[in-house]
Structure 1
Amino acid sequence: MTSRFTELVVDCHDPERLAAFWCAVLDFTVIERSESDVEIGSWEPTVEKVRDRQMPPTLLFIRVPEGKTVKNRLHLDVSPIDGSTDDEVTRLLGLGATKVDVGQGPGRSWVVLADPEGNEFCVLRTLEPPH
């Protein structure tokens, strides 16, 4: 017997806003939405596809009444694929991300940002092929 990692759930106040932000960050699309949640992903999950092999999880943003109060225990890492890390950080700041200090210290090879609701994530080294 085996399970698959199919969704990563993010509690939030405004699922539409966060889904739009993360769609722009990751080039995902909305898969499903309701009054209280929005699911986004890079593929359309079906039972057959999920059973066939492990696929990237979707992100599911669910409306909750409480706000974020402490540093996330789980966060996303993203790696730019067609530009420098600095260029990607600039793009993400333009989308509504903010820089945050979680005690990472100076001189790190990654940059810690927060999405529009304060959920931390890291921008890692670029995966752009060398020129």
Structure 2
Amino acid sequence: MAVRMAQYTIDVENLDVMVAFWSAALGYEVEQGDDGSAKLWPPEAPSAAAPTIWLQGSGTAKQGKNRLHLDLVADTDPQAEVRRLVGLGARHVDVGQTGTERFTVLADPEGNEFCVLDEPPTR
């Protein structure tokens, strides 16, 4: 038996800012709860390739480097996607890159690190 990733949960301080960023970044639909949280749904039915995102209101700011993070893949030009994400509110961050990586490290508006891969992972 094995498990698959179904959902990625992010603790957020400002739910509205993070809903706006992540729904625009991923093209996901928003289902906002009345409990200070929101679920972001892929445009199609969830599958192993498209987990849901749960934005969980925490009321506190992020502290330290993420122990887990998202790796995103662009449909077309990865650097164009990086520019689009920066335009949405992401920023470049240095987590010790050497400059030879095949990905770009960004942080969302609350500082949660994520990567845009130059190409999809392969075996």
TM-score range, shorter chain: 0.7 to 0.9
Distance 1:101 1:35, change over 3 A: same
Residue type at the aligned position of 1:119:
N
Unaligned runs of 5+ in 2: none
Instruction: Give the Å deviation of 1:57.
Output: 2.0
Rounded to whole Å, the distance in 1 between the matches of 2:58 and 2:93 is 23
- 56-65 or 92-101, larger mean C-alpha shift: 56-65
Give yes or no for contact 1:101–1:112 (8 Å, CA) kept in 2: yes
Give yes or no for contact 2:27–2:43 (8 Å, CA) kept in 1: no
Rounded to whole Å, the distance in 1 between the matches of 2:15 and 2:43 is 19
CA-atom RMSD in angstroms: 2.3
Runs of 4+ aligned structure 1 residues displaced above 6 Å come to: none
Rounded to whole Å, the distance in 1 between the matches of 2:17 and 2:54 is 12
For residues 42-81 of structure 1, the aligned pairs below 5 Å read 42=42, 54=48, 56-81=50-75
The corresponding residue for 2:108 is 115
Residue type at the aligned position of 1:41:
W
| TM-score normalized by the length of structure 1 | 0.79
How many pairs does the alignment contain? 120
Instruction: Give the Å deviation of 1:35.
Output: 3.8
The corresponding residue for 2:23 is 23
**CA offset digits 1:49-100 (Å, max 9, x no partner):** x8xx756321111111322111000000111103x11111111110000000
Q: Percent identity?
A: 38
Residue type at the aligned position of 1:9:
T
Distance 1:106 1:3, change over 3 A: closer
- 91-100 or 102-111, larger mean C-alpha shift: 102-111
Give yes or no for contact 2:5–2:48 (8 Å, CA) kept in 1: yes
Does residue 95 (structure 1) correspond to residue 85 (structure 2)? The answer is no
Q: Secondary structure at the match of 2:74?
A: coil
Unaligned runs of 5+ in 1: none
Give yes or no for contact 1:21–1:95 (8 Å, CA) kept in 2: yes
Distance 1:86 1:35, change over 3 A: same
Give yes or no for contact 2:73–2:117 (8 Å, CA) kept in 1: yes
The corresponding residue for 1:10 is 10
